[in-house]
Amino acid sequence: MTEPTPIVDVDDDGGRPPWVLVVGAVVSLALIAVVILLLVRDDDETAVAPTTSGPTATSTPTSVPTTSAPPVTSAPPVTSAPPDTSAPTTPPTTEPVVTEPPPPTEPPVDGSDAAIWPWVSSDLRFTDPVAAATSFAVDFIGFDDPVIGEFQQGDELSGEVEVRPFADANPTVVFVRTFGESGEWFVIGAANQNIVIEEPDTRDVITSPVEVVGAADAFEGTVNVQIRADGVEAPLFESFVTGQMGQLGSFSETFEWDAPTEGAGSMVFLSLGPRAGEVIDAGAIRVFFGQPD
């Protein structure tokens, strides 16, 4: 028995089945979508490139100059110049120190500036310490026919000799010394327990006014004070201080006098007896003369 032949429905579109038309429509739509995507991508790439490169190129140069400018305004350190201008003014303030004379106390190499008697500038010299002490007591101090003791050795270059106005009197101790290798003796000071000299001190620089401080046990409590210069017989200045009689009494006096501004000399303290000009006790220190402050 034979199978029946199928009946095909043919429509008005040239005999194509409906599913063929559907597939063709789908493929066409897909192709159109691809073309549209390609066109959109090209437009995006061209649009992004100019926008990214443009802003970066213009933003960089504008920011650099604005930030670097402030350091230029830090020029005010130029105002540090005034310290340099003040430097030249300081040296002149210290220049007046140069006007001060060298101190007259600068000792010679042999130390002979300590000599009170005989004057170093004179030709008088002694090779015996007792002879030097005797001349000092009579010719310089003014003792009248004193009693001279023996030389008492101190060290190799110095010693002392006691001088009394009479045998039982309190001694004035005369300090003697030799300088250099000549063996010549000089008096460098004198002391007495009845005349204590506290100021000035030996080798002080004195000027006017000069303050004299100490203690004395003297006839009527009076002690003559003399300031002498080397090479000059008469005192440069003469006055007195008052202690006590029978025991030490303190004294303190300030004297105005016509003081030299250089050189050397001595301060001499004399206790005189009841007879005019009779020296009982004596003291002497080495001093130098200088300019007032």
Q: pLDDT tens digits, residue range 33-89?
A: 554 555 545 454 444 444 444 443 344 444 434 444 444 444 444 444 444 444 444
Report if residue 95 sits inside a domain: no
CA distance linking residue 98 with residue 91, whole number of Å: 12
Identify whether residues 130 and 251 lie together within a single domain: yes
Same domain, 145 and 269: yes
CA 178 to chain centroid, in Å, comes to 39
With respect to residue 4, please indicate whether it lies within any of the assigned structural domains.
no
Rg (CA), the chain: 60
25 and 157 in a common domain: no
Cβ-based neighbour number of residue 92 at 10 Å: 8
CB atoms within 10 A of CB 1: 3
Residue span of the structural domain in which 235 resides = 112-289
Query: Distance between CA 262 and CA 268 in Å, rounded?
Result: 19
Q: Note whether 37 and 125 are same-domain residues.
A: no
Determine, yes or no, domain membership for 56: yes
pTM: 0.63
Listed residues 46, 67, 88: the one ending a domain = 67
**pLDDT tens, 100-147?**
433 443 445 467 899 999 999 999 999 999 999 999 999 999 999 999
Q: What type of residue is 73?
A: T
Q: 24 and 134 share a domain?
A: no
Above 70 in pLDDT, residue 291? yes
Instruction: Note whether 42 and 135 are same-domain residues.
Output: no
Q: Which of 173, 182, 78 is nearest to 127 (CA)?
A: 182
Note whether 225 and 283 are within 8 A (CB): no
Q: What is the pLDDT of residues 77-91, one digit of tens each?
A: 444 444 444 444 444
Number of domains the chain is built from:
2
What CATH number is associated with residue 242? 2.60.40.2550
Do residue 261 and residue 163 come from a single domain? yes
Q: Which of 189, 185, 157 is nearest to 173 (CA)?
A: 189
Spatial CA neighbour of 192 closest among 114, 115, 268: 268
- The last residue of one of the domains, among 67, 99, 125, is 67
